[in-house]
Amino acid sequence: MKFYGFIHFTVNTFTDREWGYGDESPSVFNPTALDCRQWARVARDAGMKGLILTAKHHDGFCLWPSAHTRHSVKFSPWKNGRGDLVREFTDACRDFGLKAGLYLSPWDRNHAEYGRPAYIEYYRAQLLELLTQYGPLFEIWFDGANGGDGFYGGARETRKIDAAAYYNFPALWDMVRQHQPDACMFSDAGPDVRWCGNEAGVLPLASWSKIGGNGFTPGQISATNGQTRLGTGDADGDCWRGAEVDVSIRPGWFYHADQQPKTLDQLMHIYYNSVGMNCSLLLNIPPNPEGLLDQQDVDRLAEFGASIRAIYANELPTVITPVDNYAYDFRLDSPQRARHLVLSEDVENHGERVTKFSVYAKLGKFYVKAGESQSAGAKTIVQLSKFAPKIDTYRLVIEESRAEPVIQARLFR
C-alpha cells in the first residue's frame, strides 16, 4: 500500500495532552462537528490507501461503546452517549475506497486491574469487539508503550510489567488471525510489520523487508538492543517483516493549536526516505477538538499528494541494453533532465536479492555517480540531481546481489 494515514483522536484532543493520565472524565469528549467522511476524503485525495484510528490510546478511553467499561463514548456528551466513532470511521473509509485499520493500546492508565491477570481478560474482550464488529481491517496496531504511572482506577501509582510475558502476545495474534485473517499486525517487533526504529520519518541507506526474527520482543526494544536494526532490517533475515515509518504531520501526535504542520519540503524528504527506501509511510493527521482536520493540514496534504503524483507523472521512454555483470544502460531518444529512477524487485515471486546498486549519468565519455542504495525491494526511488545537465544515457549497476536480480527500473522526468 506504501502510503496510508494515522488518526490520533481521543480525550487528549480536548485536554491538550499527548499521553492522557487515565483520570480524564468522559465528559470532556464532545466534538461539535465531527466528520469522519472529511478525514477519509482528504486522505483519499492525498493518495493514501487507508487510515488507522486510535480506538483506544494509553488513557484507556474507548472511541466505541464497549460493553466492558464506562470509560468510553457511551458515557460522553457526544451524541448523548449514543455515538460510535469507530463505526463512523470504518464506514467513512469504505465509502471513500480506503482500507480501515485500528490501534488498541496494550497499556491502559485508567483500568484498575492493569498489571494484573484480570486486565488481560478485559483487553482480550476489547480486542474481540473490534475484530468482530467493524468489518474487514487491514492493520491492527499494537503500541510498544507499556507500564508506568497512571490513574489505575484511583490508585494513582506506578505499575511495571514484563511485556514479553504479561500480554501473551502470541495468543492475541492468534485472535487476530482467527477473526481478521487478512489483517497485518504491527508492533515494534512485528509479527507482520515492524517499526522503523524512529519517529522522524528518515531511514538508513538500506532497509530490507527481511529481518532476523530472534531477539525482538514487542515493547522491549531500545537503542541498545536492536532499535537501529529495525530500520535497516537484515539482507539475510529469516522473517519477512517490512518496516513501517510512522511520523506525524505536526510535532505532536494529537492536535495542539499552537503547532504547525510540516512544510512540503519536509514531507517530501520523509516520502523519499520512507516509501523511497522500500518502506511504507504511515502519516499521522490529528483532528482538532471540533472533530475536523485543520485547514492548514488539509491544504498541506493536498500539496503533498500533488507532489507525490508528480514523481510518477512523466515516464521517460528508454531503450534498455544489458552491459555486463548486472549492468544496464537506459538510453533516451534525446538528452533530457531525469528526476527519478524507480527500481523494483519482483519480491512476490523472488524475494529481495539486491544488496547494493548505483546509478550513473553519462557525461561525455564518463559515467558520474548520480545515486546509490544498499537495498531495492518493492520500491526504491533514486533522486537524480535537479541541476544536472540533460542526459541521454543512465547506467544502472547492480553491484551486489544474493542471486540473479529480477528487477524493473523506470526513469521519470
- We report the CATH number of the domain holding residue 391 as 2.60.120.260
Distance of CA 380 to the CA centre of its chain: 17
Residues 370 and 296 in one domain: no
Share of the chain above pLDDT 90, in %: 89
Residues 245-261: what's their mean pLDDT?
Answer: 98
Domain boundary among 311, 333, 360: 311
| Cα 376 from Cα 86, distance rounded (Å) | 37
- Give the single-character DSSP code of 32: S
pLDDT band at 225 (very low <50, low <70, confident <90, very high): low
What local confidence, expressed as pLDDT, does residue 220 receive?
A: 73
pLDDT band at 339 (very low <50, low <70, confident <90, very high): very high
pLDDT at 245 over 70: yes
What local confidence, expressed as pLDDT, does residue 113 receive?
A: 98
Residues 265 and 175 in one domain: yes
pLDDT at 224 over 60: no
Give the bridge partners for 321, in sequence order.
329
Domain boundary among 311, 345, 360: 311
Residues 148 and 103 in one domain: yes
pLDDT band at 106 (very low <50, low <70, confident <90, very high): very high
Residues 340 and 275 in one domain: no
What residue type is 344 in one-letter code? Answer: S
| Cα 264 from Cα 301, distance rounded (Å) | 9
Residues 361 and 306 in one domain: no
Give the bridge partners for 410, in sequence order.
342
pLDDT tens per residue, range 301-331:
999 999 999 999 999 999 999 999 899 999 9
Share of the chain above pLDDT 70, in %: 98
Residues 292 and 345 in one domain: no
Residues 19-31: what's their mean pLDDT?
Answer: 98
| Cα 268 from Cα 249, distance rounded (Å) | 11
pLDDT tens per residue, range 198-219:
999 988 778 999 998 777 778 7
Nearest alpha-carbon partner for 4 in 104, 131, 97: 97
Residues 287 and 408 in one domain: no
pLDDT at 142 over 70: yes
Range of the domain at 288: 3-311
What local confidence, expressed as pLDDT, does residue 214 receive?
A: 77
Residue 62 belongs to a domain with what CATH number?
Answer: 3.20.20.80
Average pLDDT, the chain: 94
| Cα 128 from Cα 186, distance rounded (Å) | 17
Residues 324 and 307 in one domain: no
Residues 237 and 95 in one domain: yes
Residues 292 and 231 in one domain: yes
* Cα distances (Å, whole numbers) of residue 140 to 33, 52, 100, 184, 291: 27, 8, 10, 6, 23
pLDDT at 223 over 70: no
pLDDT band at 35 (very low <50, low <70, confident <90, very high): very high
What local confidence, expressed as pLDDT, does residue 213 receive?
A: 77
| Cα 46 from Cα 49, distance rounded (Å) | 9
Q: What is the pTM of this model?
A: 0.96
pLDDT at 100 over 80: yes
Residues 254 and 134 in one domain: yes
Domain boundary among 292, 311, 330: 311
Residues 259 and 342 in one domain: no
Q: How many domains does the chain have?
A: 2
| Cα 277 from Cα 205, distance rounded (Å) | 7
pLDDT band at 144 (very low <50, low <70, confident <90, very high): confident
What local confidence, expressed as pLDDT, does residue 202 receive?
A: 87
